[in-house]
Amino acid sequence: MKFSHGCATLAILFGLGTPTQAQFLNKLKQKAESKLENAVDKKVDQKLDQALGTGGNQNQGNSNNGNSNGTGGNNSNSGGNNNGGGLSQNQGGGLITTPPDVKSNLADAESAYKAGKYGDSRYSLQQAMLGVELEIGNKILKSLPESISGLNKDASADQVTSTGFGWAGLTIQRKFTNNNGKDLEVTVANNAAWMSAVNMYMNAGGYAQQTGGQQNWKQVKVKGNRAIIEFSQGSGYKLSVPIGQSSLIVYEAVNFANENEVMTAANAIDIDGIKKMLGEQ
């Protein structure tokens, strides 16, 4: 019976013209794809029921077993990831800040120069210069007050940094705070970009004033030194005092009551002493 049915189907197929054969094959293909999709959808539904526990009692039991196994697999993978990433850091004191030894580096520079090792000699000279800058910076930091206008220094914020290239990039910072939102940060820096901005104010529009509205910046003097004071409602007061051709002191005051309070705090710094240590005229 099956044989005769198959023969009849083949006879019909070969008896049709070419366009009709193509249509017939397309219909067979569509039916096959439809059945395949239905089968796949059914399998997907079963898997979802097992994963979510939304099927029958038997499926829920399978789901519990599957979830248990899956969880174990996930834990295993998680362990694999931890092992692959190595041990996590949970202790260690970090690096110790050690300024370069000036005398030792000068001796190394001389020896390297005599031996014709000019690259090594240059490196040792740069290290010696870096050591000198850091020594100057630490002396300036120690000369700053322990407290200003009722604000105590935050020892953890003290910082001296230098690039070691001809005094360019030497920066000394100290922060004073009452730990209640009122802060004063003092920065002594050799910074060409900052100096350029201050000089632009002074040379291009340093005398501009206005009688109405909010005055956002103006020229002032701190211990006889010309300076620029600025005010922003968002960041507070900023007072920039040039103390040489490339050095300046910047005061950033947050939550100070007024300009006079900022000026009083600025006068607590020994500007002439800082100039002398930096070799500025």
Tokens representing 279 are: 């070799």
Are residues 196 and 108 part of one domain? no
Give the pLDDT band of residue 77 (cuts 50, 70, 90). Answer: very low
Give the Å distances, CA to CA, from 247 to 167, 172, 242.
Answer: 9, 11, 6
Least confident range from 91-100, 136-145, 178-187: namely 91-100
Q: Are 112 and 118 in contact (CB under 8 A)?
A: yes
pLDDT top residue among 156 and 92: 156
pLDDT of residue 23 exceeding 70: no
- What is the sign of the dihedral through the CA atoms of 73, 74, 75 and 80? positive
Are residues 107 and 54 part of one domain? no
Provide the domain limits for residue 25: 2-72
Closest CA to 164 of 201, 208, 210, 132: 132
Are residues 123 and 42 part of one domain? no
CB environment 53-72: b (16+ within 10 A), e (fewer): eebeeebeebbeeeeeeeee
pLDDT of residue 259 exceeding 60: yes
Are residues 22 and 65 part of one domain? yes
- HSE-CB at 17 with a 13 A cutoff on CA atoms is 2
Q: What is the pLDDT of residue 210?
A: 56
Q: What is the pLDDT of residue 214?
A: 63
Are residues 173 and 121 part of one domain? no
Q: Are 251 and 262 in contact (CB under 8 A)?
A: yes
pLDDT in tens, 119-177: 999 999 989 888 888 999 999 999 999 999 999 999 999 999 887 665 567 899 999 99
Tokens representing 257 are: 């009551």
Are residues 274 and 152 part of one domain? yes
pLDDT in tens, 26-70: 565 565 556 555 655 565 566 556 655 555 544 444 444 444 444
259 domain residue, yes or no: yes
267 domain residue, yes or no: yes
pLDDT of residue 12 exceeding 60: no
pLDDT top residue among 191 and 155: 155
pLDDT of residue 243 exceeding 60: yes
Q: What is the pLDDT of residue 64?
A: 47
90 domain residue, yes or no: no
82 domain residue, yes or no: no
Are residues 39 and 17 part of one domain? yes
Give the pLDDT band of residue 192 (cuts 50, 70, 90). Answer: confident
Q: What is the pLDDT of residue 205?
A: 56
Helix (H, G, I), strand (E, B) or coil at 81: helix
150 domain residue, yes or no: yes
41/47 Cα distance (integer angstroms): 10
Domain count, the chain: 3
pLDDT top residue among 124 and 99: 124
Q: Are 248 and 242 in contact (CB under 8 A)?
A: yes
Q: What is the pLDDT of residue 18?
A: 46
Are residues 114 and 68 part of one domain? no
Are residues 162 and 122 part of one domain? no
Q: What is the pLDDT of residue 267?
A: 96
pTM to 2 decimal places: 0.62
180/62 Cα distance (integer angstroms): 60
91 domain residue, yes or no: no
Are residues 119 and 57 part of one domain? no
Q: What is the mean pLDDT of the chain?
A: 76
pLDDT of residue 185 exceeding 60: yes
